[in-house]
Each structure stands twice: as structure tokens, then as C-alpha cells.
Amino acid sequence: PNLKKVIKGIPKAELHLHIEGSFEPELMFQIAKRNNIILDYDSIDSLKKAYQFNNLQEFLDIYYTGAKVLLYEQDFYDLTWAYLNKVHDQNVVHVEVFFDPQTHTDRGVDFAVVINGIYKALEKAKQELNISYKLIMSYLRHLSEEEAFKTLESSLPYKDWIDGVGLDSSEIGNPPSKFVQVFKASAKHGYKLVAHAGEEGPVDYIWEALDLLKVIRIDHGNRCLDDEKLVQRLVKEKIPLTLCPLSNVALKVISKMEEHPVAKMLEKGIIATIHSDDPAYFGGYMNANFYETAKALNLNKRQIMQLAINAFEASWLSSNVKEKHILEVK
């Protein structure tokens, strides 16, 4: 009964959040209207009814369509600010946010427009909401490595604002091995490296992300339990997995929450963490992800706290700030 209260009371870090995936239908309609864009749906309800997915691709098709109403700096600012206010209410104190520049630059929206809007909202949240942040630029893996290189190039004037690069979008058929050179180049520019791997794709993609891309964190990684050797590697090298339980259910990566691997991962000593991925599409932000997971897997308070601690551990905060947050969890 007080599970929700316990979860809300714990200070949390969000490490796996696509800002475009926080685009709530209400705000989408509002921005579409002021930009004179007609959506394919005639009401917020009919749009919400379309949010039923059988796999990652069905979701991505709708997610990229929704993002098309974002045209101006103010739009990116409003999107980001709305997200930050929402999670502030949920006692999220640190965020590491993904954005997908190519989703916008491919439509003729400048990189500068996208990042300025997002950055200004993040800075305001730091000042006014006391939320610390990191920003992660994701390459779209269904596009070519050459396209990713162009995005890397566009990011360089803003590299002081960007902490890392990631890899997202359609996983199957687009293995990490496709992006070896651009990840290498990104690291040379000082970006930290992460990649989505083993969400729908096989365990090989997790190995590739580690061995070929040299990532320091895996986004999702659900499939790692298929491979005991990989599990040992993740534990030994302290490679965190940023899991997204409501996303996994919504995209049918698992058939029901009771089957989520996070409890087993904790048992094995993996630095597993819980996040929200695309909360506007998958039915919940951080607290809902914690709550639904804890309820379905019968997690005790110690396990819930471990998940929260792991997220600070896995974050890119400095070690003294990490320690401070971890003490606040306990």
C-alpha cells in the first residue's frame, strides 16, 4: 500500500530517456496548432488509441511521425521543460537525456535549433529545479554510418554541451558493427559512448557494442541472461544496463511484467537500473516504472533501493556527487 510512497520518496536518476519520447499528446496537439500542422489524428484520444505496438518498429513509426511537429527552438524547449517539470515532481534529481538530431535535421530543422531549445530547458532546470543533467546525442542506426558522421560534424560547435553519444532506432539488421568508425571518432572528440543493444536484437549485438564500439554502458541489454559469459563480463567490468520495463512490455520484448529479467540481473551482480525510455508512449515515467516492476516481481525495499543506487553508480556524475546522492537514497 505504501509502495508508491516509498518509491516517490527515493531520489532517482533517469539515464535512459529519449526526449522525443516524452512528447505527450496534449503538448503535441498544442505545438501542431501553433505551427499550422495538421496531425493524422483528429483528437488526443484517437492519437492515444494508436499507441498499441507489436514491436519496436511499430512504435518508431509513430514516434518519428509525432516528432515532425517540432520545428522551432521554442518547441524543443517546451518539450524538454515539460519533461523536466514532470520528473521533478517524481523526485528525479539527475537526468541523462538522449536526443535524436537526425530525426529533425533530415526534415530541414537545424542542429542548432534542436540543441539550443533542449539546452536552455536543461539549464533552467538546473537553476530552478535543482536537477543536474548530461546530454547524449544518439545516432539513428537505420541510417548509414556516413550520415552519423555528418551528425558528429554538426555537433562539434556544441561539444561542450554534449557528454556522450548513443545508438538507437531499429535494432535488428543494424548491428553495432555498422558504426565502429563513427564511435571511434566520437570518442576522439571526448564523447562518452553508450548504445542500445539486446533490446530486440540478439546477445551478439551486446558483445559487439562492448568489443567493437567500446561502450561504457548498455541501453536495455535484456537478452544478456542468454549468455553466462556475457553476464560475467558485465559484472567484472561493471558495465551497467539501463532497463526500461514499461517499454519492454509495450513493445513486447517481454510478454508480461512478471517476466522482466531485472531481479535476476540484480541477483547476478549486474549494475541494473530502471528508466522510462519513451514515457509518453509507454504509459509511465520513472515512478511508474519502479512501481510496476516492484509490484510484478515482488521486489523488497532493499532491491528497490539497490536499483536507485545503481542508477547513481551508473551515471556520469563525479564520484563525490554520486556518493552524496547514494547516501540520500539510504
CB 44 within 8 A of CB 29: yes
- Point out the residue whose Cβ comes nearest to Zn ion: 277
Q: Does 277 bind ligand ADE (CB under 6 A)?
A: yes
Among 56, 84, 113, 122, binds ligand ADE (CB under 6 A): 56
CB 271 within 8 A of CB 311: no
Among 75, 78, 96, 168, binds ligand ADE (CB under 6 A): 168
**Minimum CB distance to ligand ADE, residue 177 (Å):** 17
Among 222, 247, 276, 293, binds ligand ADE (CB under 6 A): 247
Distances (CA, A) of 305 to 7, 70, 228, 238, 329: 9, 37, 25, 18, 7
Report residue 137: phi and psi, to 5°: -90, 125
18 marked as part of a ligand binding site = yes
Q: Could you give the residue numbers annotated as active site? A: 199
Among 80, 102, 151, 169, binds ligand ADE (CB under 6 A): 169
Sign of CA dihedral 288, 289, 292, 298: negative
Q: Does 151 bind ligand ADE (CB under 6 A)?
A: no
Cβ closer to ligand ADE: 78 or 171? 171
**Minimum CB distance to ligand ADE, residue 298 (Å):** 26
Of Zn ion, ligand ADE, none, which one does residue 199 interact with (CB within 5 to 8 Å by kind)? ligand ADE
16 marked as part of a ligand binding site = yes
Report residue 108: phi and psi, to 5°: 90, 10
- Point out the residue whose Cβ comes nearest to ligand ADE: 168
Say how many residues touch ligand ADE, by CB under 6 A.
Answer: 11
Cβ closer to ligand ADE: 10 or 95? 95
**Minimum CB distance to ligand ADE, residue 321 (Å):** 27
277 marked as part of a ligand binding site = yes
Closest CA to 200 of 58, 37, 103: 58
106 marked as part of a ligand binding site = no
Window 260 to 279, contacts with Zn ion (CB under 5 A)? 277
Instruction: Find how far residue 211's CA is from the centre of its chain.
Output: 22
The C-alpha cell at 87 is 520528473
**Minimum CB distance to ligand ADE, residue 278 (Å):** 5
Burial class (CB in 10 A: 0-12, 13-18, 19+), 74: middle
Q: Does 21 bind ligand ADE (CB under 6 A)?
A: yes
Window 175 to 204, contacts with ligand ADE (CB under 6 A)? 196, 199
CB 15 within 8 A of CB 21: no
The C-alpha cell at 42 is 483528429
Q: Does 309 bind ligand ADE (CB under 6 A)?
A: no
Q: Give the residues across from 194 on adjacent strands.
A: 217
Alpha helices in the chain (DSSP H): 3-9, 25-34, 44-49, 56-67, 73-88, 101-105, 111-128, 145-155, 180-188, 203-211, 228-236, 245-250, 262-267, 279-282, 286-297, 301-314, 319-329
The C-alpha cell at 166 is 548513443
Residues 6+ apart with CB under 8 A from 22: 79, 82, 83, 86, 278, 279, 280
Q: Does 292 bind ligand ADE (CB under 6 A)?
A: no
Among 24, 73, 208, 278, binds ligand ADE (CB under 6 A): 278
What are the residues binding Zn ion (CB under 5 A)? 277
Annotated binding-site residues for substrate read 278
Annotated binding-site residues for Zn(2+) read 16, 18, 196, 277
What are the residues binding ligand ADE (CB under 6 A)? 18, 21, 56, 63, 168-169, 196, 199, 247, 277-278
